[in-house]
A and B are shown apart, each in its own frame.
Chain A
Amino acid sequence: MPESTEPRPAFAPWDRRELPGLFTVEESARRVGNYKWIEMRLFEALGGWVATVPELDVKLVLGRHCYHHAWHAELWDKRLPELREMNTERLTQPANDAVVRLMESVREPEAPELTIEKLVGVYRVLMPRKIAAYTYHLNVTSTITDAPTMRSLKFVLSDELDDWREGEMLIQSLLGSPETLARATARQEAVETLAVEAGGVAGPGTIGGTVTVDGEVVA
C-alpha cells in the first residue's frame, strides 16, 4: 500500500488529455452564440408547429423536442458569460446571412398537409448538421480548458442523436408512396442547398477547414 505522502503525477497514466485545443476563447464563444441562436429558432418552430400538424404522434414528439432544444439554448446562454461574453445577446447571432435563410426555410412550412416537409427540414438536414457541428467542437476543443463546453456538448449531443433517430422514424412512417418520397427528397435537396451555402450551422469551417474571425485565421 503506497504511503499517503508519496508524490503522484497530476495526470493518471490513462489520462491523455492535452493542451491547448484548437479553439480560442473567442472562437468557442462565437460558436456557442451561433448554437444558441439556432436552438432558439428551432424550439420556437417546433412549438409553433404543434398546432399545425394533424398527426397526433408527431404533435406529441414535437412538443417534447421543443423543450429539448430550449434547454440546449439555455445551456449555451449560461456558457456565454463564462466565455467572457457578458452581453449574451451580442453573440446570440446567426453565423451569416445564409444561416438566416436556412432557418427561414426550415421554419417556413405551415399547412397541415406539410408534415413531411416540416420533419425533413429538421430531421434530415438541420439535425444532422447540428450533430456534425457539435461533434467537431467536442473533438477539437481543449479537453482541459474548455471542459465546461464539452460537458454541455455531450448532454446536447445525447438529446440530438435520440431526437434525430425519433424524427427519422416518424419520416419513414409517413413515406408510403412515390409521391411522398418525391416530396421528401425535393424538400431535403432544397434545405440542404441552403445548408451548403451557409457552410454549416456555424458558418464556413463548422466541421473543420480554415476558420476566420474578422478576417483573421483562428483555427
Chain B
Amino acid sequence: MKKMLPVEELARDERFVRSEITDRIADPRNDRIAERNLGSARLEPDRPAALDRSRSLMHGIFMGEIQALEGAGRTCFDFDDDEVPFALKLDMARQCWDESRHVEISVKLGEHMGTEIGEYAEQTFLYQAACNPDAVLRLTGVNRALEGLAIDVFNTMKEFGEASGDPVLAACEDWMLADEVTHVKMGSDWLRRMTADDPERRERALEFQRVVDKLFSIGGFRGEGDESPIQLARRFRELAGFSDAELDEIAEISEEAAADSRAASG
C-alpha cells in the first residue's frame, strides 16, 4: 500500500455521490436564495425549513466523520517511525475509533431524523486537508480547524435537539462533542510539542489552519451573527485549548468570509 492516498482514490459504495465545493459556491440559485432574506439563518425549530436543514446537516456530519476517520487512519500509516512520535500515532489510532463511533452514531441519527445515506452529495475537502504531507500541518488543519468546526456543529445540533424536543439528538450530539474537544486538544498539544524549536513550521501550520478555517466559514456558514447557521461554540473551544485571542481571530475570519460572500452576490 502506498503512502499518501489522493482524494480521488477514497473508496465508496454506489450510494455515495460526490460534488465539488466550487460547484456549490457557484450555484446560480444562491443569488435568488440570498434575495429572499428570511432573517436569522440560525438553526431554530420554528423555521419552515428547519427539519430539512437539520437532516442535510446530519448527512454532512456523517460524511465529515467518514473523512475524519479516513484522515486519522492515513496519519497512522503515512508517516514512518522516524517522522512522527509513536505517541502521536497512538492518538491518531484512538481518533480512528472515536470517528468510527461517530459514523455509527450519525447513521443512526440520520435514520432517526428521516434521511438516508446518499441523499445528499459528498464534498471531500475535509479529507483533502488530511492529505498534507507535513504531519504538523495535517494535525493543525484537521484537529484544530476541522475538529474545531465539529465542536461548533455538534453544539449547534445539540441546542437544536434541545429546542425541538428531541432528547435522542441532543444526547448523542453531546457525547460526540465530548470526543471532539479531546481531538482538538490533541491537535493543540502536538502543534506545541512538535514545533517547540521550529517557530517557522508553527507559523506555517497556523497559516494552514487559517486557510481551512476560512474555507469552512464560506458564505457565513459558521460565525457569531444571525446570518450563520452554525454558531461559534466559544465555551467548548476554550475547554479544547483555544485562547480568547484565537477565538476572536476565528470569529473575524468567519466575518470576513461572510462579507466576501455578500460582496460576491452583489
Chain A residues proximal to chain B, CB less than 8 Å: 40, 43-56, 59-64, 66-71, 73-74, 77, 107-110, 112
Contacts and interface: CB of A to CB of B under 8 A. Distances in A.
Contact of B69 (A52, A59, A74): A59
A53 B66 CA distance: 12
Given A60-B100, A110-B2, A47 B94 contact: no
B11 interface: yes
Nearest to B99: A63
B96 interface: yes
A51 B74 contact: yes
Contacts of B103: 56, 59-60, 63
Interface stretch (B27-35, B85-93, B143-151, B219-227): B85-93
Contacts of B11: 51-54, 59, 112
16 contacts: A40-B81, A48-B1, A50-B70, A51-B10, A51-B127, A52-B9, A54-B12, A60-B104, A62-B73, A63-B69, A63-B100, A68-B97, A69-B93, A70-B89, A70-B90, A74-B90
A71 B90 CA distance: 7
A54 B76 contact: no
B147 to A, nearest CB: 16
B100 A49 contact: no
Nearest to B13: A54
Given A47-B72, A49-B73, A77-B86, A70 B94 contact: yes
B75 interface: yes
Interface residues of B, number: 34
B77 interface: yes
Given A47-B74, A48-B74, 11 more contacts: A47-B72, A47-B73, A47-B93, A51-B5, A52-B1, A59-B66, A60-B69, A60-B104, A64-B96, A70-B93, A70-B94
Q: Which 5 A-B pairs have CB atoms at the shortest separation, nearest pair first?
A: A48-B77, A47-B76, A70-B93, A63-B100, A47-B73
A45 B77 contact: yes
A95 B24 CA distance: 53
A56 to B, nearest CB: 7
A48 B76 contact: yes
B1 A45 contact: yes
B174 interface: no
A69 B11 CA distance: 23
Interface in B1-32: 1-2, 5, 9-13
B1 A49 contact: yes
Nearest to B7: A51
B5 A52 contact: yes
Nearest to B67: A51
